[in-house]
Amino acid sequence: MTSTIFTIGFTKKNAEEFFRLLQEARVEKLIDIRENRVGQLAGFAKYPDLAFFLDRIAGIAYDYQPMLAPSPEIRDAYRKTHDWAQYEKSFQELMAQRRVLDEIDPALFKGKIALLCSEAEPDQCHRRLVAEMLARHWSSQAHAVEVKHLVSEAGRKRMKPARKKP
């Protein structure tokens, strides 16, 4: 299997930038890994509108995999403590309890796919954890898997290391 797993969040992006990032990356399928895909704050990324827009605007397939979403308890604990290390630990335990690596069909991830959640940046987001977990697992089975994060221009500037002055 050869796969590129992109990640993207919809907040701090307008629809034009969101769909442009997906199109420029030549994403073939978007996999929604949010627990709640119909929230009123999701705007253009609310289901079923998102599936319609992906198909009509970009010819991108839509899939929903809530088993890859954090539990409300994990999210609530993080909101209270802002302890990212504990969030990661709890999320990884949840993925193990759900037996994600046994249950998820690798065929869903063939080609260029994007994992969607709401966070603007991947650093402290479960989509990064999912992408890295899947890439590690499938790479250990001799599959070619690459992870890339689709972020806004402002996000790219924050992710680049600062240049040293001469």
Q: How confident is the model at residue 163 (pLDDT cuts 50, 70, 90)?
A: very low
Q: Please state the rounded mean pLDDT for residues 1-8.
A: 93
* Helix ranges restricted to H, the chain: 15-24, 49-53, 72-81, 84-97, 100-103, 126-139, 153-159
Q: How confident is the model at residue 42 (pLDDT cuts 50, 70, 90)?
A: confident
Lowest mean pLDDT among 78-87, 93-102, 136-145: 136-145
Q: What is the dihedral of CA 41, 44, 48, 49, to 10 degrees?
A: 150
CB 78 within 8 Å of CB 134: no
Chain-centroid distance of CA 133 in Å reads: 12
Lowest mean pLDDT among 15-19, 24-28, 104-108, 159-163: 159-163
How much is the pLDDT for 165?
36
How much is the pLDDT for 1?
75
Is the per-residue pLDDT at 50 higher than 50? Answer: yes
How much is the pLDDT for 155?
57
Dihedral sign, CA of 8, 12, 16, 17?
Answer: negative
Q: Please state the rounded mean pLDDT for residues 20-40.
A: 95
User: What are the structural domains of the chain?
Assistant: 2-71+106-159 (3.40.50)
Return d(Cα 21, Cα 57) in angstroms, integer. Answer: 12
Say which amino acid occupies 156.
Answer: R
Return d(Cα 99, Cα 164) in angstroms, integer. Answer: 45
Is the per-residue pLDDT at 164 higher than 80? Answer: no
Lookup: tokens for 87: 């969030």
Is the per-residue pLDDT at 19 higher than 60? Answer: yes
Residues 6+ apart with CB under 8 A from 96: none
Cα three-residue angle 33-154-28, rounded to 5 degrees: 40
> Over pLDDT 70: what percentage of the chain?
92
pLDDT tens profile 148-158: 999 987 655 54
Is the per-residue pLDDT at 160 higher than 50? Answer: no
